[in-house]
Every structure is written in C-alpha cells, then in structure tokens.
Amino acid sequence: MKVALIIENSQAAKSPVIETALRSVAEPLGHEVLNFGMYTAEDEAALTYPMNGLLAGILLNSGAADFVVTGCGTGMGSMLACNAMPGVFCGLVIDPTDAFLFNQINAGNCMSMPYAKGFGWAAELNLEDCYRKIFETEAGLGYPRERAAVMKTNRGVLADMKAAACHDMLTVLKTVDQDLLKAAIAGERFEELFYPNSKDDEISAYLKSLG
C-alpha cells in the first residue's frame, strides 16, 4: 500500500518526528511512505489545512496513494477539508483506540491527527501506536466482530451518499480556486512523487496543464 504523508504549515517543524514514526511502523509492514511535505517550517511551499484536503483528494482519486496520513493543530480542520473531497473518508485519530475503531468499523482511506493539541511528552510513542493500529490489521473486519456485516453495509450506504453529494475529482480540480490548487501542488517533491504513481491520466494531464 502507498501511504502519503501531508503536513500543514503550523505543524511543519514536527515533520521529522511524524515522518520517522510513520516510517518506523508502515515500512516494516510492507507499505511505501510518500512524503508530500511540508518538510520544514521554512518550506517555500506552505500547506494550509484546506490545501491538505485538496491534496488528499488528488492523491486518493488519482490512485497515487492508497491511504493518506495528515493533520493540523487539532486535526479537525484537515479532517473536515479531506471529507469535503469525493472518495475521501477521513477519521479524526487522537489515540490508538480511535485508530483501531476507525480502521475496523469505518475502514477509511485517510486519517487526520492533532499535532499541537495534546502533543507532549512521548508524543512520538502515541503516533507509532496509532499508526500501528491503522496498518497492522486488515481494515473493515468490524468491532464487535458480530456487527461486521452491518458495518460493511453502512460503509456502502455512506459511499453512495458521498458519490451523490460530490462532484468527481476532475470537476473539483477545474472549478476550485486555481491559485489554491496551484499552491496545494507546489511542494518541492510533488512532481517526483505524484506523476509516476498516478493512475488517472485525466487528473495528471490537468495538473500538468497548470504549469
């Protein structure tokens, strides 16, 4: 599985801690981590939480990533922005129990974490434990297990609701504020990481056309 990491500007100074925790868990489990930034607080290309959502939508709908790990100060802004995108199902994950239940019940493709609120002593251990609960177990097995079938049905209903309520991603890209879109894909490694991994020629072509 390709796991994309996206970090918002207010928490960019913590990028090395977050990336190290994610890689230490995901890579031994056979997942590939793609860090789309931010990398430092001084990066020229700064990501706001609305941009996090737009970028997550691009990565998941193009197939360039299978799962997105993101966040902001509280995790809520990035979660809301991600859930505004078609095909993105993002959970707010604060602790390992949240991670386990989100994985088993909701089987989403994106998680948002608070990297300021509650981010204190041993924060990196909490990150590792949360990532482990997301990536070490098959998603959607249900909790409690006897409700697995009901939960799967409800996930399908939610997916159908979202499809009915949202435009497709290409339409979003063409109608969203174009300066916002350009800023969201301005990261120094975007082209290097995105285009070789994208499986959607139309999304790739449109983003390339932006110059």
CATH number at residue 17: 3.40.1400.10
Query: What's the rounded Cα separation, in Å, for the pair 96 and 40?
Result: 26
Which residue do the tokens 């006897």 mark?
146
Q: What is the pLDDT of residues 5-48, one digit of tens each?
A: 999 999 999 999 999 999 999 999 999 999 999 999 999 999 99
Q: What burial letters (b/e) apply to 109-135, b meaning 16+ CB within 10 Å?
A: bbbbbbbeeebeeebeebbbbbbbbbb
Number of domains comprising the chain: 1
Cβ contacts of 132 within 8 Å, gap of 6 or more: 25, 96, 99
State the pLDDT at residue 158.
98
- Structural domain of 152: 2-209
The pLDDT-based confidence of 211 (bands split at 50, 70, 90) is: confident
Query: What's the rounded Cα separation, in Å, for the pair 200 and 202?
Result: 6
Question: Based on C-alpha coordinates, what's the Rg of the chain?
Answer: 16
Q: What is the pLDDT of residues 98-111, one digit of tens each?
A: 999 999 999 999 99
